[in-house]
Structure 1
Amino acid sequence: MASDAKRPKWEAESAEVVDEPLQRFLQWCHKVELTISSKVYLSKEGTVAKYGMLAKQDIEEGEQIFSIPRNALLNQQTSKVKDVLEESKTTLENTSGWVPLLLALMYEYTRPQSHWTPYLSLWPDFKALDHPMFWSKEERDKLLKGTGVCEAVETDLTNIQKEYTDIVLPFMLSHSDLWDPEKHTLDLYKSLVAFVMAYSFQEPLEDEEEEDDKDPNPPMMVPMADMLNHVSNHNTNLEYTRDCLRMVALRDIHAGEEIFNTYGEMANWQLLHMYGFAEPHQENSNDSADIQMSVVLKAALQLSQTEEDQRLLTEKWNLLCDMEMVGDVGAFIFSKKCCLTDTELYTTLKILCMEKDEFKVFQEEREWEEADDEDEMAQALSNEGLPGLAPAWRRLLYTAAGITLDHYEESLEADRKLLEDQEVLAKLDSRSRMALQVRYGQKKILQRLQQLTQSGASTSKTS
């Protein structure tokens, strides 16, 4: 259906617009010519979290819900300090590519007369952000041990501290007319990192085939689009055009429904780490669980019978490292339906489970340079294919899943009882409930992996 975007009705209609910051933001949207359909409204009532957008009337598939002109996007190019940031582009280079945007945000956020104040005022103190980076280490370790979130947060905090100390602070001191370390503190920087993690967008590169060879586009803040909440089964999609960004309905949306965008195919641990929330595990079709690559080696060594077997496994592992299939840091990722890192895992299982003579021939003939069929590998490591793997392969996967399950603080059964006891569940704080969804979703995937490979767990060693 053709676009039916209209200027919004800026005055509150009944209880639809009730707070002044939101009213000022809507007036700002009108000023920057951000168009919005009359069929939707913003509210904190009836949404899954914080602000959200709801349908007042039925919306048809393909209908435009709102349109944002590119000059209404907030990034280093649209900030008041764009020239200074551009001049220092080389100085501000870093791994994440976020420093210029974060400096622009610090400047605009603390400048009362900023053009962006009505937008940024929707987050008056960032206390609504509840990323695990703001939890105590003790709380993270207690609630999220084994999920991968703790390690990701520790990496984030280390990088934020180093980035601020080594790049941001020296830059601000050399531009003291624009930034003040007394005001633009590490704590503010950390909050803005979480803000960018939770609310920014990254425009896809034009040529998808060359994405791996190019630096990704830097993140940007997209007013209005960042008001939409996320679910994996979303009903809208953000489209990028030369002049504007458009939010378009992916299916018919009925009056009273919340308008949902997607942040991508995100597992619950990623949602909690990057956005500060998690979906109910059964509703997140993109949920996944990791088995660390090093754990597969640990499982293989645990299953080995002799010191000679262990030496051979080490030799095999070194070859896999040379092939760039595994590493000291890295994980095999399992979704609800299959292994998402099928090439790496298939090759790892194949080589680790080879008999000694077979492995020697494999090394000498360098057959590993000829890859196995990708479709066959994917099928073999799907839920349908796992029970048909060789017994030694199944035993290795079963053991690795068991070692991973042992890393969690609580057992699967303990978490299941928590989830099923509605009275106890209702008394948990939001952090405990979100962490529970993350843990339990991962454990269910690992349990399913064990169920699918269990028949090989006690089988005698074969290739």
Structure 2
Amino acid sequence: MATPAKKPRDENTPNLDQNKNDNVYADDKSNCKKRADAFLKWFSSNADNFFNEKVTIGPDGSCAQNGMVALSDIKEGECLFQISRKILLHPKTCSISELLEKDPVNSESGWSELLICMMHEYKAQKSQWKSYFDVLPESVDLPMFWTKEEREQLLTGTGVVEAVNRDIEKIHKEFQSIVSPYIKKHKDIISPGCDDIDLYKRMVSYVMAYSFTEPPKDDDSDDFTEEEEEEKSIIYMVPMADMLNHIAKNNAHLSFKPDCLEMVSTRAITKARELNNQGINFAWPNWHLLHLLHMYGFSEAYPENYFDTVDIPLDTVLDIAEEEAENKDFAKQKSTFFKQKLMEDLIGDVVVGASGILTDDRLFMVLKVMEMTPSQFAIYEEECEEGWEEDLEEDTSALADFDKMKDLSQSWKTIISRSASSCLRRYTSSLQEDEEKLKQIKNLNSRQQYSLYLCYGQKMLLQKLINACK
């Protein structure tokens, strides 16, 4: 769970004392260990919890402020710890659960209740989660806490600037219109000091970086009660689970059980190795549209993070398809129809991943429409919903795999390649310039390093797409 980076230690690990932006993490090691020890004592005091004697927590051996390290060899499939659902922190377990049940908080994000209960427990003098909050970092260095100038200088072209701007707008809007009025309304019950936008933003950062969402249960399953089904999308703060730092090539996985959660080793782990959890929370909607730096405050160097993605706007694909068409007027007609009638039903843009196009059906739809003849398009325009469903049944696998893209038509490969090339021009530096900066990576502060990792990784994916379409 430790920040600034849920990543492995290597020669490129940022020097946290290089500038004032990193001082929030320059924690005194002995105090850090004391808090970790107190947290472990609190965790172990619950009879329903289990903590494997083969592991320990603290700053020693961790790539960041705190982490979990093996004291002896661990076999694949061993339970590292088990935590009772009773001490997961969420609206139904907190000390104001009755209030939240009696007077629910409704918000667009769905986070407000959790954030209110977290603020309340953080400020409460006798909260059972005091040791948990004590071991959390004072701040998570997410881009939303950077200056606007830093974001624009370091992250232009990545999509993170736009995502952060949306986040900040929503956070302030939700706090002012929903959270603050609710806290004022129940000021006799909710802990003093919670009506604070800065505290609220800190809790938001904790949820973004450290929360876990239980994977949805099979809708066809009859094995779960109505109450369990109701709770399937609840976001939890999971003490101890967020003690593990995150990397793509992880060696542990959090498993959800009826009465508890278990962290289990996914491979054999040797003594003194750090245990790492998965960096991406797959229960998040559109997880593939998220970036590690945006959500967690760190990036991994390419190609270590095989969850890296880069977006190509649908508008870009459509505009280039228009330019490539022989009949420009007809292509404009199809593109306009698509933008007006279909794009509003699609979420996000074309997403490129480590192996190919993740949203292959979306790109397939765009290319298919743009190659239609007048007679085909007339039918499609009249019955676009039925036509879309038919298109979905076609094989789109050639778009999902870089190695198969050689089998695409030349017209499709040209549109895809030009779209990727267009996206390469939106960054403030070239791929070659990034490669030169990477040679001097140790001279950069952590924000500059993580931004460089993100930009370079995205550009490499775009270049990989271009090469696949040659």
Give the TM-score, by structure 1 length.
Answer: 0.86
| Residue of structure 2 equivalent to 1:396 | 415
| 1-structure distance, mates of 2:259, 2:151 | 43
Which residue identity is paired with 1:146? G
| 1-structure distance, mates of 2:345, 2:61 | 46
| Residue of structure 1 equivalent to 2:195 | 184
For residue 261 of structure 1, give the secondary structure of its aligned residue in structure 2.
Answer: strand
The change in CA–CA distance for 1:351 and 1:20 in structure 2 (over 3 A counts) is same
| 2-structure distance, mates of 1:140, 1:348 | 32
Say which is worse superposed, 48-57 or 441-450, in terms of deviation.
48-57
Q: CA RMSD in A?
A: 2.6
- 1:449 Cα deviation (Å)? 1.0
| 2-structure distance, mates of 1:137, 1:17 | 33
CA contact (8 A) 2:322 2:332 kept: no
| Residue of structure 1 equivalent to 2:39 | 25
- 1:408 Cα deviation (Å)? 0.8
Which residue identity is paired with 1:312? Q
The change in CA–CA distance for 1:134 and 1:431 in structure 2 (over 3 A counts) is same
- The answer for unaligned runs of 5 or more in structure 1 is 1-14, 455-463
Answering whether residue 353 of structure 2 is matched by residue 342 of structure 1, we say no
- 1:316 Cα deviation (Å)? 4.7
- 1:267 Cα deviation (Å)? 6.2
| Residue of structure 1 equivalent to 2:273 | 257
For residue 62 of structure 1, give the secondary structure of its aligned residue in structure 2.
Answer: coil
- 1:17 Cα deviation (Å)? 9.6
| Residue of structure 2 equivalent to 1:12 | none
| 2-structure distance, mates of 1:176, 1:214 | 29
| Residue of structure 1 equivalent to 2:308 | 287
| Residue of structure 1 equivalent to 2:152 | 141
Number of corresponding residues: 428
| Residue of structure 1 equivalent to 2:206 | 195
- Indicate which of 166, 169, 178 corresponds to 2:177: 166
**Deviations 1:324-383, CA, capped at 9 Å, x for gaps:** 6865x6211111211111111112111112344543355468672552475721234421
**Deviations 1:15-63, CA, capped at 9 Å, x for gaps:** 9997221121111112223211110011213222221111111111111
CA contact (8 A) 1:300 1:352 kept: yes
For residue 255 of structure 2, give the secondary structure of its aligned residue in structure 1.
Answer: strand
CA contact (8 A) 2:33 2:59 kept: no
The change in CA–CA distance for 1:16 and 1:69 in structure 2 (over 3 A counts) is farther
| Residue of structure 2 equivalent to 1:459 | none
Taking the TM superposition and a 5 Å limit, the aligned residue runs for 1:417-428 are 417-419=436-438, 421=439, 424-428=440-444
Say which is worse superposed, 248-257 or 298-307, in terms of deviation.
298-307
Identity of aligned residues (%): 35
**Which of the pair has more CA radius of gyration?**
1
Say which is worse superposed, 140-149 or 247-256, in terms of deviation.
247-256
| Residue of structure 2 equivalent to 1:383 | 402
- Indicate which of 126, 129, 132 corresponds to 1:119: 132
Answering whether residue 148 of structure 2 is matched by residue 132 of structure 1, we say no
Give the TM-score, by structure 2 length.
Answer: 0.84
CA contact (8 A) 1:380 1:388 kept: no
| Residue of structure 2 equivalent to 1:96 | 109
CA contact (8 A) 2:213 2:281 kept: no
Where do 4+ consecutive residues of structure 1 move more than 4 Å? 15-18, 180-183, 213-216, 265-269, 304-307, 323-327, 361-367, 372-375
The change in CA–CA distance for 1:95 and 1:342 in structure 2 (over 3 A counts) is same
Which residue identity is paired with 2:467? Q
Which residue identity is paired with 1:371? E
The change in CA–CA distance for 1:79 and 1:381 in structure 2 (over 3 A counts) is closer
- Indicate which of 116, 119, 123 corresponds to 1:110: 123
For residue 19 of structure 1, give the secondary structure of its aligned residue in structure 2.
Answer: helix
Which residue identity is paired with 2:35? P
| 2-structure distance, mates of 1:180, 1:32 | 25
- 1:306 Cα deviation (Å)? 6.4
Taking the TM superposition and a 5 Å limit, the aligned residue runs for 1:361-380 are 362-363=380-381, 368-369=387-388, 371-372=390-391, 376-380=395-399
For residue 354 of structure 1, give the secondary structure of its aligned residue in structure 2.
Answer: coil
| 1-structure distance, mates of 2:455, 2:409 | 30
Flag the structure with more relative contact order, 1 or 2, with Cα contacts below 8 A and sequence separation at least 6: 2
| 1-structure distance, mates of 2:62, 2:410 | 49
Which residue identity is paired with 1:245? L
Taking the TM superposition and a 5 Å limit, the aligned residue runs for 1:227-376 are 227-262=243-278, 263-264=280-281, 270-304=291-325, 308-318=329-339, 322-323=341-342, 330-360=348-378, 362-363=380-381, 368-369=387-388, 371-372=390-391, 376=395
